[in-house]
């Protein structure tokens, strides 16, 4: 008899869980739909349909390697504040809720495991800025410009030497980007024997340390 009495309670619990999941899923879909609409109103001209970007003009925001290591805070603060010294202006006027919706839309393109928390907790770079400068000019400046000025300097890559980027990107974020690149872009992996430049750990540390000296 005791088991019979418990069954209705268990059944109600399962129904409540399923209903909650359905509502959560519906709310998430609604947020993504809102974010897509806002993206198409405010972002699509530069970042293109489906956020695929345009080389030499605006980066892809739906790139799987980017979304895997970029935190919601990184994405939201970039939308809110823009990138000083670039064509990416601030969109703080949209307000927090609309920015959150755009981030949710970008997240809907995610295909790789999300690991921004562990990436942002990585150690600070310990390198030699003088050596990093040599590496930067040898392998990075062709796309990102001599001082990391990016598109506005006529380069095909983003402005990684500007405060707008350096103030938001952790050393872990930069480290992972140099190591593993961005698929389907000109930003190729540079780490190890499989990388374009066969950089080792210390050489990457040197480049990050040099980047931190820029635009101060």
Angular region, 67: left φ>0, alpha ψ -120 to 50, beta rest: alpha
Of residues 185, 150, 197, the one with CA closest to residue 207 = 197
Same fold across 2-107 and 116-211:
yes
**pTM tops 0.95:** no
Average pLDDT, the chain: 89
Measured CA to CA, the distance from residue 40 to residue 98 in angstroms comes to 13
- Please give the class, per CATH, of domain 2-107: mainly alpha
Domain boundaries, the chain: 2-107, 116-211
Measured CA to CA, the distance from residue 129 to residue 116 in angstroms comes to 26
Q: Is the pLDDT of residue 155 over 70?
A: yes
Q: Is the pLDDT of residue 199 over 50?
A: yes
Write down the residue that tokens 């872990």 correspond to: 172
Residue 198: the pLDDT is 85
Instruction: Considering the domain delimited by 116-211, tell me its CATH architecture.
Output: Orthogonal Bundle (1.10)
């Amino acid at each position: 008899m005791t088991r019979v009495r418990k069954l209705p309670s268990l059944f109600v619990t399962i129904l409540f869980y399923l209903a909650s999941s359905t509502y959560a899923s519906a709310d998430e879909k609604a947020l993504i739909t809102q974010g897509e609409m806002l993206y198409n109103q405010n972002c699509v001209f530069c970042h293109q349909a489906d956020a695929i970007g345009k080389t030499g003009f605006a980066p892809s925001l739906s790139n799987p390697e980017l979304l895997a290591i970029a935190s919601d805070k990184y994405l939201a603060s970039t939308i809110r504040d823009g990138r000083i010294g670039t064509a990416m202006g601030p969109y703080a006027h949209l307000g927090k809720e609309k920015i959150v919706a755009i981030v949710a839309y970008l997240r809907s393109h995610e295909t790789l495991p999300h690991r921004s928390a562990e990436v942002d907790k990585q150690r600070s770079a310990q390198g030699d800025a003088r050596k990093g400068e040599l590496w930067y000019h040898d392998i990075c400046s062709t796309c990102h410009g001599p001082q990391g000025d990016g598109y506005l300097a006529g380069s095909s890559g983003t402005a990684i030497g500007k405060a707008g980027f350096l103030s938001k990107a952790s050393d872990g974020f930069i480290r992972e980007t140099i190591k593993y690149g961005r698929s389907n872009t000109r930003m190729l992996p540079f780490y190890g024997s499989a990388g374009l430049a066969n950089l080792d750990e210390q050489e990457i540390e040197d480049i990050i340390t040099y980047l931190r000296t820029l635009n101060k």
